[in-house]
Amino acid sequence: MRLATLAPAKVNLVLRVGPARADGYHDILSLMVPLDFGDGVEVRVSAGKGKVTCRVPGHPDLDGPGNLAARAAEAFRARFGVDRGIAIRIEKRTPVTAGLGGGSSDAAAVLRCLARAFRIRDAAALAEVGLSVGSDVPFFLGPGPAWATGRGERLRPADVAPQDVVLLYPEDPALAIRAGDAYRWLDASRRGAPTPPPLGRPRGIRAGSFRNDLQEPCLAERPALSPLLGLLVGRGATKAIMSGSGPTVFGLFSSRGAARRAAAAVTKEDVGPRVRVIAARTVRRQPRVTSWRSPRSASSRSTRRS
């Protein structure tokens, strides 16, 4: 059996962060929304016993058992008693370590494919498997936009109208930010300061409430990111913030056309460090799993119709 799906990137329209807990994690209040942009994931399940393999063409450093997608497949096999061979292939489009949830989304895409292949309908058990792989994985297993609380595992569906966004991802390795560093910088910035107010509860969605508590300490450590936010506002964004733990920043625009024009304009500008520009739209539902279809066979069908 061979299945395929999109592993969508995500942005955080809201990310509030509480103090560090005794276990080292932080409680969060986050509004997460999937995008119509992401990685292509294919999962092939063999008819007999076998092992888990994972390939990411063009990214040999992501091949193998350390990839979150491979770890998700192994966790699925352990939880549901599966011994079939599982071959994973990822067409990588979402930038790596970018605050866009790419690795977690790949892992969730594999779990969604395997749940269909083995007819697993226990959503709670599947979410537990996902959480064992990463805090953001349960979100990508859900139906769509959601408020996330706890360390990200408690989810409440959110009704978010489609938002047109432009993502700016700086490709300079010196600007990369690991999630652990972002949270450590936030904790350091709060030492000696008054205790932050309670995170509160999910509320109605207003552009003025979009914020990211990690942004200020990350910009202090990576000041080259600040001009990117200004660039988005200068090109018409109604709001520009950092996504997740960064370094990707994004702007919200009034329409798809406005976002595309802004993306085209930014692409032509000299913005210092090499920056990847992506125009995208938030979506209300996670993508479906489908049977894999060869691009060659699709081309053949088109030829026969002509």
238 annotated as ligand-binding: no
Alpha carbon distances (Å) from 206 to 1, 160, 163, 211:
44, 10, 12, 11
142 belongs to an annotated ligand binding site: no
φ, ψ dihedrals at 218, nearest 5°: -70, -40
Nearest to 57 by CA among 104, 30, 15, 91: 91
**CA pair distance 109, 203, nearest whole angstrom:** 29
Between CA 93 and CA 97, with CA 96 as vertex, the angle to 5 degrees is 150
Q: Where are the alpha helices (DSSP H) in 59-151?
A: 68-80, 102-117, 123-133, 137-141
Q: Are both 112 and 189 inside the same structural domain?
A: no
Residues 112, 261, single domain; the answer is: no
104 is in an annotated binding site: yes
98 is known to lie in a ligand binding site: yes
Q: 169 with 148, same domain? A: no
CA distance 186 to 86: 40
- From the list 10, 92, 106, 239, the catalytic residue is 10
Count up the domains in the chain and report the number. Answer: 2
| 244 domain residue, yes or no | yes
144 is in an annotated binding site: no
Residue 297 belongs to a domain: no
Asked if residue 208 belongs to a known ligand binding site, the reply is no
Termini Cα distance of the chain: 30
Q: Kindly report the CATH number assigned to the domain that includes residue 32.
A: 3.30.230.10
Do 275 and 174 fall into the same domain?
A: yes
Vertex 287: Cα angle to 283 and 150 (nearest 5): 70
Q: Do 69 and 214 fall into the same domain?
A: no
- In sequence order, the 6+-apart residues with CB closer than 8 A to the CB of 81 are none
Q: Is residue 112 part of a domain?
A: yes
Q: Residue 217 and residue 65: Cα distance in Å, rounded?
A: 33
**Residue 275 maps to which CATH number?**
3.30.70.890
Query: Is residue 55 domain-resident?
Result: yes
- Is the CA virtual torsion 265, 271, 277, 283 positive or negative? negative
Residue 264 marked in a binding site: no
Q: Are residues 137 and 228 in the same domain?
A: no
* Active-site annotation holder among 39, 106, 136, 213: 136
- Is 97 annotated to bind a ligand? Reply is yes
Note whether residue 306 is domain-resident.
no
Distance CA 270, CA 215 (A): 23
105 carries a ligand binding annotation? yes
User: Does 213 lie in the same domain as 148?
Assistant: no
My answer on whether 15 and 63 are in the same domain is yes
Q: Model pTM?
A: 0.90
24 in a domain, yes or no?
Answer: yes
Tokens representing residue 262 in the block: 């802004």
Asked if residue 172 and residue 148 are part of one domain, the reply reads: no
> What pLDDT does 52 receive?
98
Whether 10 is catalytic: yes
Token pair for residue 101? 């949830």
Domain boundary among 113, 143, 160: 160
Q: Which of 139, 160, 181 is the last residue of a domain?
A: 160
Structural domain harbouring 274: 164-281
Same domain? 176 vs 267: yes
Residue 293 lies in a domain: no
Residue 139's pLDDT is 95
* Domain-embedded: residue 185: yes
Same domain, 222 and 107: no
CB–CB of 146/28 below 8 Å?
no
The pLDDT averaged over each successive group of 10 residues in the chain (306 residues) is: 96 92 89 96 96 97 97 98 97 95 97 97 95 94 93 89 95 92 94 69 66 96 95 95 96 96 90 85 94 58 40
Domain end residue (candidates: 117, 133, 160): 160
Query: Are 139 and 14 in the same domain?
Result: yes
Would residue 136 show up in a list of annotated catalytic residues for this protein? yes
